[in-house]
Structure 1
């Protein structure tokens, strides 16, 4: 067993494999919004959401069966919470993003997901007793919040479309990010 080398964490821990993995995640997650935009040209948001969930359920089930198909919990009380997590982490944000992308670009939808950590901070502070809010976190939160305001400004949009549906589409994408943030608190 190799002893850990003292020094810079990044120098000792991150290698090419890690960069490939992070880059792959970026491509997969980022391209999702482009594919949603393309799919919405032929199907409704509800059909798209349903197809995404069914596809994921089939793949997850195949992996689950490949690893023996055992339930990870037999506690019946946990199923209600797991159902809530499934709705908040998957069904609701998928639908919000699909509906919102009828009125906003895929690039806006992708950028809107970057607001998720901004929602985690206040949610963790109010719902988790061990979360501290120091000046550094508060300043970061304010800077991020200003970024969301800039995202909503008409000057940011290439189309300068300030129609009510465009605004609702933007809110739907931000609400999806809020769902993901809420899920991260529920999963702790």
Structure 2
């Protein structure tokens, strides 16, 4: 792999992986899970809107696309972002990252259940079992007490939500023109979902 590509991958891994630490810090500074969710969605939407504008890409205009974006935004952004913040109220950020790593495994299981993925060959079955075994070894639940708590279940729920979103987006949103604008629209929709939840539950911080 070229050095430039390696550096980009390393930067992406750093930005993606550090998200759980920033969630934990935000919780420690008194923000509620829904406030964190609104902030993540709104900031992401703002950045993508600027990039879409620079690339001269326009937001979708048809109702059907926006309907698909509302569903995708709920399962890929609003719901898992909220669940990660809820889970990290009682679970450390390292464990949150490990549980998030189960997303591809849930996506594979979901694809098999829905019949949208390739049949499970012996090699793929071996890979699936090795993946779950690896996560189990890293997670090491036998060495820690109280891992199957509400917080851990919320984190697992977030990973499953991502898997549902990827299956839905693969069927209804993949391959569209103006990808930056479509992504910006999705995060705008997610901001709306999160803001609605925040308005319903109140704006008070946890501190």
User: TM exceeds 0.5?
Assistant: yes
Aligned: 1:67 with 2:55: yes
Q: State whether residues 98 and 135 of structure 2, in contact with CA within 8 Å, keep that contact through their aligned partners in structure 1.
A: no
| Structure 2 Cα separation of the partners of residues 91 and 148 of structure 1 | 25
Aligned: 1:84 with 2:66: no
RMSD, matched Cα: 2.0
- Structure 1 residue 69, shift from structure 2 partner: 4.7
Q: Mean alpha-carbon deviation: is it higher for 129-138 or for 81-90?
A: 129-138
Q: State whether residues 24 and 89 of structure 2, in contact with CA within 8 Å, keep that contact through their aligned partners in structure 1.
A: yes
Radius of gyration: which is bigger? 1
Tell me the alpha carbon deviations over residues 9-50 of structure 1, each in whole angstroms, 9 at most, x when there is no partner.
xxxxx1111110111111101111111111101211111111
Q: Which runs of 4+ in 1 moved over 3 A?
A: 146-150
Aligned: 1:24 with 2:6: no
Q: State whether residues 152 and 170 of structure 1, in contact with CA within 8 Å, keep that contact through their aligned partners in structure 2.
A: no
Structure 2 unaligned regions, length at least 5? 171-207
Q: Which residue of 1 aligns with 2:168?
A: 186
- Structure 1 residue 143, shift from structure 2 partner: 2.8
| Structure 2 Cα separation of the partners of residues 135 and 184 of structure 1 | 24
| Structure 2 Cα separation of the partners of residues 112 and 147 of structure 1 | 11
Q: Which residue of 2 aligns with 1:169?
A: 151
Q: Mean alpha-carbon deviation: is it higher for 171-180 or for 124-133?
A: 124-133
- Structure 1 residue 67, shift from structure 2 partner: 2.6
Structure 1 unaligned regions, length at least 5? 1-13
Change (3 A) 1:185 1:91: same
Q: Which residue of 1 aligns with 2:39?
A: 51
| Structure 1 Cα separation of the partners of residues 116 and 79 of structure 2 | 27
Change (3 A) 1:19 1:106: same
Q: Higher relative contact order at CA 8 Å, sep ≥6: structure 1 or structure 2? A: 2
Q: State whether residues 99 and 155 of structure 2, in contact with CA within 8 Å, keep that contact through their aligned partners in structure 1.
A: yes
Which secondary structure state, in structure 2, belongs to the residue aligned with residue 104 of structure 1?
A: coil
- Structure 1 residue 126, shift from structure 2 partner: 2.5
TM-score (norm 2): 0.74
| Number of equivalent positions | 168
